[in-house]
Structure 1
Amino acid sequence: MSAPRVLLLARAGAARDNAASALNAAGAQVAAVLDPLTVSEADLRAPAATAVMVMLDPQVEAALEAFDAFFDDPSLTVLYEEAELAAKRDGWEAARWTRHLAAKLQGHSDVLPPSPAEQGLKQELEALTLQMAKLEPEPPAILPDAGNTLAVVIIAGGVGGPDAVRQLLADLPEEFPRPILLRQPIGGGQYDRLVRQMQRATSLRVELAQLGEVPQRGVVSILPDGIDLGEVEGKPKFVTVEGEPQFPALKAADSAVLLLSGAALALVDLALTVRLRGGLAFGQAKENCFDPAASLALVARGGEARSLSVMAHQLRERWPN
């Protein structure tokens, strides 16, 4: 198998250096390294890359808007990374990142780096995750399914999650008949950038959730910190919350909860409740999943894991246009 040709788009600095090193270590061929603030679309196409890695910061994010036609190429694999986080990766985190890139670019599932007791440590970590998952916590306080609840699709991610979210949303039709709520924590709280990133990946409308608004069908509402789906005057609306959202106004019997890479373990209870009431609840399959802890916990308690493509298929099948 020939090495994938990757175009690296990044401003000069530690993030660019770390990304180039990680790509080389992952077996990729770095076709070119370009600063997106100083190039044309012709410059981007010249290396004939099969994949692009973008190191995101506010200036790069703004510059990308001029290259929508380039990024819309369906044959191009696009990977986004936060420059601030990439600049800080070293040691085990850098090694895990390298494995994750190799899995994305070369299509295998080996995303964990070696350690002093590689297999034993991996098994111990998975066993601990499963043991914790079997503990019986308090069930989430979800309202009974009634007029003050709403049927939605909840997508939860974290570390390694944005790429998975983009892939999932890209497989959903523009007329998808359910509101989609995305909880993807972002360091620094720059959720407006996440809105723009996700909008490039999907034909669905992507918005930032606003207090007091009702989620709309066919719209992806990104939940910033402190926002939940609750009841206001008998209607399901976006409300304030301390900590992570618990979605008390969720209509469990006709909703879906999808736990992607890095999803909060606290949402496993919610997923199980939805599953038991007749909704859809899946964790992301371990293959190509950067952080499967929530998915492993869901499976350990009787849930199921699915690939991203199968998740999208089941959503389309459950709620056709």
Structure 2
Amino acid sequence: MSRFLAAFLCLSVFLAGSPTMAQTPALAKVQSLSATRSAAYDGQIEAVTQTRMAAQVPGLIKQVLVKAGDQVSKGQLLLEIDDSQARQQQAAMQAQAAATRAQLQALTSELQRQQQLFERNYISKGALERIEAEQRATRAQLNAQQAQASAAAVQTGFFRITAPYDGILIDVPVEQGDMAMPGMPLLSLFDPAALRVGVSVPVAALAGGLPDTSQILVSHGQQQLAVSAVEQLPTADAGSQTRRLRLNLESGANAVPGQSVKVRLQRSAAGEQQRLFIPAAAVVRRAELTAVYVQSATTGKALLRQVRLGANEGELVEVLSGLAEGEQVHLDPHAANRE
């Protein structure tokens, strides 16, 4: 509204013919101005990166090393699940693989001897094929056991929960001694370096296209949050006929996820019909009557005239009917009533 205020600072204030200041009514012309449309919506701070970490393996929670609100570093150990049973299973699988490997080595040596005997015609081809088949089966068994042992080794890493990135813990709903099951939430965290605002905006308000960052004001209390990028989700809500905008905030924003903010979208009214405005101080409200004192061009007296008003724009109010551009209204209705 700074443009409106600047325009009205240039309004002509007409002085009555008398040189006495006390007798000079303060008047303002009805002005036709280009409006800057703006609308405010309720938004909410969101984390661009927020993670809920769940258990992938069953087991007793051995230790919880963090609590809600803690700041953690990437790779830091957060929680540990008892892995003694899993390690025993891994050791058993490795032992089975080792036994099968030794059996395969013995079969390979035996196959070499059988091939030498077959070359000297001491054994039949059928006997040689049987030992070859036994060796191939043992090799396949060893491959399967090694794959199982490798999977068990990978699974042992699921018992140690570490931070995937630098962040802040939101919640740790488990305690030491709890029984963890696959899919059970263990903790959640977010990255405070990347925040955004989620806001639902009516489809009609976006008819002119996606606003750029210069047209968006985000207020968090007395603080203004700078917007670095605007993203629009591809679908609209069928019930409310709104579309979801994501406003990425510049780094260093003093806010946390879940806080409410006010999002104001400003649109230039270029190309739209000019609207009439008067200072809100000139309006008289008496019961159901809304009027202003208009300076008569013929008699020079203040005449009360009913008007229909639109929305307030700061210290100005839009006039929908009852006044014409260039007419003069009294800024002090009480003084005008005494004339």
> TM > 0.5 between the two?
no
TM-score range for the pair, normalised by the shorter chain length: under 0.3
Q: Kindly indicate whether structure 1 or structure 2 has the higher relative contact order, using CA contacts under 8 Å at least 6 residues apart.
A: 2
Higher helix proportion: 1
Q: Which has the larger radius of gyration?
A: 2
